[in-house]
Amino acid sequence: MKNTLGTNVKITLFGESHGEAIGAVLDGIAPGITVDSDFIANQLSLRRPVGQISTPRVETDKFEIISGVFEGKTTGTPVCIVIPNENTKSKDYGEISSKARPGHADFTAYEKYHGFEDYRGGGHFSGRITAGIVAAGAIAISALRQKGIFIGTHISRLAGIEDKAFSDIESEIFQLNNKEFAVIDNTKAEEMKQAILNAKSQGDSVGGVLETAVIGMPVGVGEPWFDSIESMLSHALFSIPAIKGVEFGAGFAIADMKGSEANDSFRMKNGLVTTLTNNNGGINGGISNGMPITFRCAVKPTPTISKAQQTIDYIKKEDTELTAKGRHDPCIVHRARVVVDSITAIVLCDILSQRFGTDWLVK
Amino acid sequence: MKNTLGTNVKITLFGESHGEAIGAVLDGIAPGITVDSDFIANQLSLRRPVGQISTPRVETDKFEIISGVFEGKTTGTPVCIVIPNENTKSKDYGEISSKARPGHADFTAYEKYHGFEDYRGGGHFSGRITAGIVAAGAIAISALRQKGIFIGTHISRLAGIEDKAFSDIESEIFQLNNKEFAVIDNTKAEEMKQAILNAKSQGDSVGGVLETAVIGMPVGVGEPWFDSIESMLSHALFSIPAIKGVEFGAGFAIADMKGSEANDSFRMKNGLVTTLTNNNGGINGGISNGMPITFRCAVKPTPTISKAQQTIDYIKKEDTELTAKGRHDPCIVHRARVVVDSITAIVLCDILSQRFGTDWLVK
Amino acid sequence: MKNTLGTNVKITLFGESHGEAIGAVLDGIAPGITVDSDFIANQLSLRRPVGQISTPRVETDKFEIISGVFEGKTTGTPVCIVIPNENTKSKDYGEISSKARPGHADFTAYEKYHGFEDYRGGGHFSGRITAGIVAAGAIAISALRQKGIFIGTHISRLAGIEDKAFSDIESEIFQLNNKEFAVIDNTKAEEMKQAILNAKSQGDSVGGVLETAVIGMPVGVGEPWFDSIESMLSHALFSIPAIKGVEFGAGFAIADMKGSEANDSFRMKNGLVTTLTNNNGGINGGISNGMPITFRCAVKPTPTISKAQQTIDYIKKEDTELTAKGRHDPCIVHRARVVVDSITAIVLCDILSQRFGTDWLVK
Amino acid sequence: MKNTLGTNVKITLFGESHGEAIGAVLDGIAPGITVDSDFIANQLSLRRPVGQISTPRVETDKFEIISGVFEGKTTGTPVCIVIPNENTKSKDYGEISSKARPGHADFTAYEKYHGFEDYRGGGHFSGRITAGIVAAGAIAISALRQKGIFIGTHISRLAGIEDKAFSDIESEIFQLNNKEFAVIDNTKAEEMKQAILNAKSQGDSVGGVLETAVIGMPVGVGEPWFDSIESMLSHALFSIPAIKGVEFGAGFAIADMKGSEANDSFRMKNGLVTTLTNNNGGINGGISNGMPITFRCAVKPTPTISKAQQTIDYIKKEDTELTAKGRHDPCIVHRARVVVDSITAIVLCDILSQRFGTDWLVK
């Protein structure tokens, strides 16, 4: 198990879906960062299932910061945030305990942990664990904001429905951060939500693509070869359970371009170096070039669905069928948005610290 | 700089394009692995520019293994491989030393390294550095093969031309490993090569997509949350300079599927657990499920082109124009193939060692 | 801050002396290890201040395991143990908040954390944080024992009074593990305790030396150069606040020996390789040789004393005087014993995992 | 194998005693550090065997810097230094290839590397590998010096003969750096050398203690708990083969002090915080307090001696006798001095980078 991520700024995750609590330890974050409980609570609310488009599991996410914060500010020592589990209906899951849910880690966890894993509700593999990332990430986001670095993510695509692309990143990411359902074009929100409800009514689920932009990153940050910005961010992003693809700048579309199209020409603008296009997503040679860092994550449709599915009993090693009864989400794309923002913030704090030191984020 | 990758099995890179030598240190690899110089030489030849479709820079890649191999086998101590540089025409590059080549790391390296970087031929950011990955990776590939784990990559797409998809992975990856221009459908090779030559004649370049499959991975390998197989592989793959996107299994296409389509149903087959589809690329919850591990990498068109480009002088910080005169590749997709295979092998050796120990690969 | 230790088996610490709770996350430990709450409680009791020879601070150390344990066994996922703080009399410390206690981290923490540190009771630098090591270490000790690896530590020296040396390690370490005041020669216990009380009555404190032996380590474990057994253990041991010296085998005494005396001659014994002496502490070239691993730690006298001391006000940067009023220990040597055992166990689990994998410790 | 040390500034070692070359890669070191070949050569000469008191093996240590240095300065990318092996008389060692030299890693390496290790001349476990540390360390020493941080080590004790203690560190460490045989009291040099020759004439060897001081370290550096200065330095120091003990400040002697003696009282002096004594070796709570950082290393007598010794044949697993014929040192204490200085410099660069960033050392 590797539940610690980062070199100088580290996050450590713990917890199981139906255990006593889940949470995270954030270490290496600079002292003096204001810790705003309301902001953390609000970030957690963005991840929490809400309304008809999500699971009816009620998650209040009452978090406790049990270390590392003193008089409202980070101390520079590890911040441990604990989020107790509530309303965990283990019985719903009991019946299917040895039927592998397709698309889930039930079978692979059984093999890796020799049958000792806590299988209830996905155990340590539950998406619920991402709440720890969100709570810790809220502090990292606050740290970056005071240095003028801002992150925003929108639902670029959901069930095949496209949101508008970023056009005025500087203002759009602020608007996105205040939206519960993060689209640039609000008219798409209802369309997407309807697609989620349709999937739900069919006992099915839908996926999508999240697009993220980061502004304000200093030029010259990133640690090639192996700790390039792309390497560091993708490592973290692919830890989020449902993410199956990550692309920077033009991403896969760049593969079909000519060099003369793909290259981002440099131009001076108001004394600053800029590029005329941003197909490289603000990164050259793994190092930030001062343009917005942009990337997209493919989020798969929630694997837990109500429809009957072929599967195996992973203990008896025999074919069987599964009809899930637990509470589940017909879509997690909108909920994953804040997880992406959060882990991105933690990784950027780490990358910045490598060149500038952990002191750099001290206010 | 972070030029060391890995936890238990590590690779460390060094070198600049026009310095004395480039190379790599491979540490943590099991003792007793046969080191076949011909195989290493052959792997290097697959990365080397050859013929009209590549740069005329002659790279003989005469490598020397200066440590860690004794009587033809790895000793278990660090293997240092040095590849001297030859035929380095620094003059071609001298003139453009402070004109940022768009799409390259010239400007970002200048900012990060305070102007002390070796800018000749891209310096430490040259694609040539990947020869060290290939040489070290050849040993990792040998180690995996003796345990029945095989890796193969094909040019899935180049300049918009699609190769056939994998259909019979078990036999196709062996054929691919023997091909200089790795396509499954040989008729596509000429079409792709022609597209490269067309781009070349226009002073331009083209990109593409590489698709990789790994067979023989034991079930239950991967270290979630943060050292999931996707996290570990993407971290390494995004270190390869031209790669701007990585996706596993169905990747970005999974975002448009329904859960009932995306989920890979489990079925027993000859006493083994298999899945009917492989949209998750052989990975559930970050852990191998026994199916082939599949992923695709977007490779951007070579940024160095002969066409005139707008850019800046990054020392004077003023607008200028650049017409590259150095030797360069109109395409590196076909050359990147063996780099992907090699770094994949190193990462898999590392992931396997976490659960099973570095001794597991001892023959 | 670096509050995470280890490569494959990791411990992460958090907490402050007067915060809500302290604790630890143990990650990478094999699944299936029996977690015995009574054993953990007993280990914590060995660290806890007891009787006249310790601080009157009442620490009940009621711990909660909030993740990573299911049906009494480790799951293989992170074990988070939280130990709430109780009976924390912050007022005692309030008055001295900007007077640097000599020998403590008050001043250095102030400088490092820019004045944002939680200074109450030593904050994150309090010896109380070692309770997290002990709780997590109990699980590591259990894991090792099932593989026949046992650790024992005695108070080799306290206030200048010497305990007997190890003579029959195999039986002595079991006796030591059951003793509250760990000496081999019980007659020394009273003498040592009296020395502690004498120091206490003078408002002073005393230190000592702990000697540890590990039996049952497989031959051939250790990862030179940089993860030699000595390197890994000393790294961890020097994290324990009061330890100022670590030596293996004959340690500093070996410096005065001739090579012919220092060398441990090999001999076969009952088919096993043994050495006639053990001046190298069971380690050759950083790798275990099958003999007991032995080392000694110098523990300084508790820095907090009642006597008036010269010091500075670290905010005003001016000379002042300090007379400590808080509760404190006249000696922590006997309490540090179980901390040494615990961190040793965690490090050995990690070292073993590097060669044999994290699976090796699965029962 | 773990041949890479460090978090932000890393050193990677490679090579075997009788292989083609040994060397090191230094990564993460700031760009713009002047690389003075004469200084490196001089540092290597201090490690090299010289005269009657050392092995007659001729090591010219002609090093080549094959990457990371451009126009006489570090580029910020990995510095690879290769030191070819010369004059390697493998035959001397051939005969004893399966007789375990007591005190050496022959047997343990055989067990760990399954018999695939390069056993000639100690292979990867030879003290010769430390030349890579010295060459890389010379660059780290240069980097620190330009920031006013200086390191000096003297032979505190050799064959039981004591050198004077440090009394005026600021001037003494500069004198020590220029001495081939580093003692503070020159009259002790001859006495110590005579003791070495006496041991040699008996076919035996002697050991000693090295004492190091570092001046100029900024206050507030160190990353507790686990990357305390003591933890980081001891980890590195114990990687040096012959070192069996490390102590900071008063070290083991502090165990016999009272708290009132051991505590270093703070006093303001010329506006700076100082302590009246330095029993804590310039470190409180794992963080630098501005006083000189002081530590001592116990160096064991060279294990290779000419006297006949009892041992085993580690392949046949049977008792035998060994009379070494290879060239060897009757003492390595004086040669280890520069190795200690070098690894200390590398570790300090790393520790400083954690708080201040790798950029901090840019001139």
Task: Map B104-161 to HEC letters.
Answer: CCHHHHHHHCCCCCCCHHHHHHCHHHHHHHHHHHHHHHHHHHCCCCEEEEEEEEECCE
Name which of C134, C125, C189 is nearest C158 in CA terms: C189
CA dihedral A115, A120, A124, A130 (to 10 degrees): 160
Residue of B nearest to C223 (CA): B28
To the nearest whole number, what is the mean pLDDT of chain B?
94
| pLDDT at res. B142 | 98
Mean pLDDT of C301-324: 94
Task: Quote the minimal CA–CA distance from C64 to chain A in Å.
Answer: 9
Q: Are D4 and B27 in contact (CB < 8 Å)?
A: yes
Confidence of residue B49 (pLDDT cuts 50, 70, 90): confident
The residues facing A69 across adjacent strands are A74
Task: Report the relative pairing of strands D283-284 and D287-288 from DSSP bridges.
Answer: antiparallel
| pLDDT at res. C90 | 55
| pLDDT at res. B305 | 94
Q: Among residues of chain C, what percentage have pLDDT more than 70?
A: 95
Q: How far, in Å, CA of B57 to CA of B131, rounded?
A: 14
Q: Are C362 and A16 in contact (CB < 8 Å)?
A: no
Q: Are A108 and B247 in contact (CB < 8 Å)?
A: no
Question: Tens digits of per-residue pLDDT, C238-276?
Answer: 999 999 999 999 999 999 999 999 999 999 999 999 999
Confidence of residue C335 (pLDDT cuts 50, 70, 90): very high
To the nearest whole number, what is the mean pLDDT of chain D?
94
Domain boundaries, chain A: 4-361
| pLDDT at res. C296 | 98
Q: Is pLDDT of C108 > 80?
A: yes
Mean pLDDT of C298-307: 96
| Range name among A174-188, B171-185, D147-161, D314-328 with the lowest pLDDT average | D314-328
Asked if residue B309 lies in contact with residue A261, where contact means CB atoms within 8 angstroms, the answer is no
Question: Tens digits of per-residue pLDDT, B62-76?
Answer: 999 999 999 999 999
Fold classification of B4-361 (topology level): Chorismate synthase, AroC fold (3.60.150)
Name which of C292, C298, C288 is nearest C333 in CA terms: C298
* Alpha-carbon distance values, B236 to B86, C181, D130 (Å): 27, 51, 30
| Range name among C40-54, C174-188, D246-260, D327-341 with the lowest pLDDT average | C40-54
Chain D residue numbers with beta carbons less than 8 Å from the beta carbon of B28 are 1-2
Asked if residue B341 lies in contact with residue B152, where contact means CB atoms within 8 angstroms, the answer is yes
Q: Is pLDDT of D96 > 60?
A: no
Chain D residue numbers with beta carbons less than 8 Å from the beta carbon of B123 are 70, 75, 77
Q: Is pLDDT of B1 > 70?
A: no
Q: Which two tokens stand for residue D50?
A: 């010289």
Asked if residue A276 lies in contact with residue B320, where contact means CB atoms within 8 angstroms, the answer is no
Question: Tens digits of per-residue pLDDT, D127-137?
Answer: 999 999 999 99
| pLDDT at res. D58 | 63
Q: Are B73 and D116 in contact (CB < 8 Å)?
A: yes
Q: Is pLDDT of B53 > 90?
A: no
Which of B206, B268, B298 is closest, CB to CB, to A247?
A: B298
Q: Is B261 helix (H, G, I), strand (E, B) or coil?
A: helix
Q: Are B234 and A239 in contact (CB < 8 Å)?
A: no
Spell out, as residue ranges, where chain A has pLDDT lower than 70. 1, 55-59, 87-96, 326-327
Contact partners, residue D178, CB within 8 Å, separation at least 6: none
Q: Is pLDDT of B55 > 80?
A: no
Q: Are C356 and B354 in contact (CB < 8 Å)?
A: no
Task: Quote the minimal CA–CA distance from B87 to chain D in Å.
Answer: 16
| pLDDT at res. C49 | 81
Contact partners, residue D68, CB within 8 Å, separation at least 6: B14, B16, B124, D26, D74, D75, D77, D78, D79, D80
| pLDDT at res. D52 | 77
DSSP annotation of C296: E
| pLDDT at res. C11 | 98
Residue of C nearest to A129 (CA): C67
Question: Tens digits of per-residue pLDDT, D44-93?
Answer: 999 988 777 777 666 678 999 999 999 999 999 999 999 999 866 555 55
**Count, residues in chain B:** 363
Contact partners, residue B282, CB within 8 Å, separation at least 6: B214, B217, B249, B288, B289, B290, B291, B292, B293, B294
| pLDDT at res. B86 | 83
Q: Are D117 and B75 in contact (CB < 8 Å)?
A: yes
Mean pLDDT of C135-145: 98
Q: Is pLDDT of C149 > 80?
A: yes
| pLDDT at res. C56 | 66
DSSP annotation of A254: G
Confidence of residue B35 (pLDDT cuts 50, 70, 90): very high
DSSP E strands in chain D: the ranges are: 4-5, 10-15, 21-27, 64-67, 69-70, 73-74, 79-84, 150-158, 161-162, 208-215, 243-248, 266-269, 272-275, 283-284, 287-288, 293-299, 309-313, 318-322
Q: Which two tokens stand for residue D196?
A: 């070495």
Question: Tens digits of per-residue pLDDT, B221-274?
Answer: 999 999 999 999 999 999 999 999 999 999 999 999 999 999 999 999 999 999
Query: Residue B325: exposed, middle, or buried by beta-carbon count in 10 A (0-12, 13-18, 19+)?
Result: middle
Q: How many CA atoms lie within 13 A of D112 on its CB side?
A: 35
Q: How far, in Å, CA of B336 to CA of B351, rounded?
A: 22
Task: Quote the minimal CA–CA distance from A93 to chain B in Å.
Answer: 18
Q: Are A31 and C113 in contact (CB < 8 Å)?
A: yes
Question: Tens digits of per-residue pLDDT, C68-93?
Answer: 999 999 999 999 999 999 866 555 55
Mean pLDDT of B329-338: 96
Task: Quote the minimal CA–CA distance from C323 to chain A in Å.
Answer: 25
ipTM of the complex: 0.96
Question: Tens digits of per-residue pLDDT, B282-312?
Answer: 999 999 999 999 999 999 999 999 999 999 9
Q: Among residues of chain B, what percentage have pLDDT more than 70?
A: 95
Task: Quote the minimal CA–CA distance from D146 to chain C in Å.
Answer: 22
Q: Is pLDDT of B91 > 60?
A: no
3-state helix, strand, coil in chain A (%, to 5): 35, 25, 40
Q: Is pLDDT of B95 > 60?
A: no
Q: Is pLDDT of B153 > 70?
A: yes
